[in-house]
Homo-oligomer: A and B are copies of this chain.
Amino acid sequence: MPKVSADHLQARRRQILDGARLSFARHGYEGATVRVLEEEIGLSRGAIFHHFPDKDALFLALAVDDAEAMLETVAQHGLVQVMREMVAAPDAGRLGTQLEIARRLRTDPEFRIAWAPKLAELADAVRARLRRQRDAGLLREGVDIDQLANYLELIMEGLIAHLAAGQPADRLGGVLDLVELSVRGQ
């Protein structure tokens, strides 16, 4: 494929995924009708579904995309930074995707099996980051890595539930500061 076409294709896919992410964040997965998708993406349904076979494929592409981005953020800055980004932009961020993932994990055994490797990757990344922090002397002592990881994961679940219920995000920055201090043992 000529480079210009490949770039164009890439940009078009990006445009579609960005619009779809906004749609899911603002309307939920069910509420993101084809009409909503057309409006948020700025393309016709024909153009959208030329690139992705259906809404489910759009969701899965976003879920994989977000999982990759989260893995990178976790590796570089830790899980608290992922939460800070969700708090900073609950509307435009990964909340819609995360909620739909959580719903499918609860209700769809096939998805649960298909998604297990991604969850394991993320869990591993969180633990690897904590181990690096510990080796650098930046973690509280006397608590094991799994316990700290479970602690952070529980707070992430609380954060998603809190934002999903439409509750205010303004006090969560201070809460995450406290989480960070507690992980460091300060």
CA distance A151 to B156 in the complex (A): 12
**This chain's copy number in the assembly:** 2
A182 touches B178 (CB 8 A): yes
> Which residues of chain A (113-171) have a CB below 8 Å from chain B?
143, 146-148, 150-151, 154-162, 165-166, 171
- Which B residues are in CB contact (< 8 Å) with A159? 154, 158
Interchain CA distance A160-B161 in the complex, whole Å: 9
The complex places the Cα of A23 from the Cα of B181 at a distance, in Å, of 41
Residue of B nearest to A171 (CB): B150
Note all chain B residues with C-beta closer than 8 A to A58.
none
Tell me the minimal C-beta distance from A164 to chain B in angstroms.
8
For A102, what are the chain B residues with a Cβ–Cβ distance below 8 Å?
161, 165
Tell whether, in the assembled complex, residue A175 and residue B147 are in contact, meaning their CB atoms are under 8 Å apart. yes
* Chain B residues in 8 Å Cβ range of A151: 175, 178-179
A residues at B contact (CB < 8 Å): 102, 105-106, 143, 146-148, 150-151, 154-162, 165-166, 171-172, 174-175, 177-179, 181-182
